[in-house]
């Protein structure tokens, strides 16, 4: 059986397709996004068409301009491993389900994951030092 991250990668398409989808969702033209992100219009076009692989810095600029999670772009670009969170632990099925849900936008995903993380922290017994 394929790992969830493998299925997710196949389901979401390429980084360029995802960026173009997010740009359209934000109702921005290619030129508007390039101005907001400080990335040249031709370079952004090449990223969206899959001809260029942007650096982490460029992805950060694009995420900020689109008001989406830079981490999401890093995972889609292959910079971060989607199977590990910041603490190096395996994420729960809840996290995967939220991240893969096409009915939610990035802001809604962040809010849901923040609430979920707060509940997990609240229910985790304190570590004995």
pLDDT digits 0-9 by tens, 86-108? 555 545 677 777 777 778 887 88
Number of separate domains in the chain: 2
Q: How much is the mean pLDDT over the chain?
A: 79
**The domain containing residue 53 runs over which residues?**
4-77
On whether both 25 and 63 belong to a single domain, the answer is yes
Helix axes 4-12, 93-100, angle to 10 degrees: 10
Q: Residue 102 burial (CB < 10 Å; 0-12/13-18/19+)?
A: exposed
Residue predicted with more confidence, 79 or 2:
79
Output the furthest CA–CA distance in the chain (Å, rounded). 55
Statement: residue 55 has pLDDT above 60: yes
Question: Are 13 and 41 part of one and the same domain?
Answer: yes
Instruction: Say how far apart CA 104 and CA 112 lie, in whole Å.
Output: 10
For the residues of 23-68, what is the DSSP string, one character each? Answer: HHHTT--HHHHHHHHT--HHHHHHHHTTS----HHHHHHHHHHHTS
Structure pTM? 0.58
Q: Which CATH number fits the domain that encloses residue 38? A: 1.10.260.40
Residue 85 resides in a domain: no
Residues 25 and 65 in one domain: yes
- Tell me what percent of the residues of the chain surpass a pLDDT of 90: 29
Residue 129 lies in a domain: no
Q: How far apart are CA 23 and CA 18, in angstroms?
A: 9
Does some domain include residue 67? yes
Instruction: Assess whether 70 and 100 both reside in one domain.
Output: no
CA angle 92, 88, 123 (to 5 degrees): 50
């Amino acid at each position: 059986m394929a790992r969830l991250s493998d299925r997710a990668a196949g389901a979401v398409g390429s980084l360029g397709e995802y960026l173009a989808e997010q740009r359209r969702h934000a109702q921005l033209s290619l030129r508007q996004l390039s101005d907001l992100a400080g990335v040249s219009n031709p370079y952004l076009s090449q990223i969206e068409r899959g001809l260029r692989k942007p650096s982490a810095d460029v992805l950060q600029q694009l995420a900020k301009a689109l008001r989406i999670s830079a981490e999401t772009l890093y995972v889609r670009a292959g910079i971060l491993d989607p199977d590990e969170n910041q603490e190096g632990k395996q994420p729960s099925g809840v996290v995967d389900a939220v991240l893969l849900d096409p009915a939610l936008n990035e802001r809604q995903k962040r809010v849901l994951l923040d609430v979920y993380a707060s509940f997990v922290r609240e229910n985790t017994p304190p570590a004995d030092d």
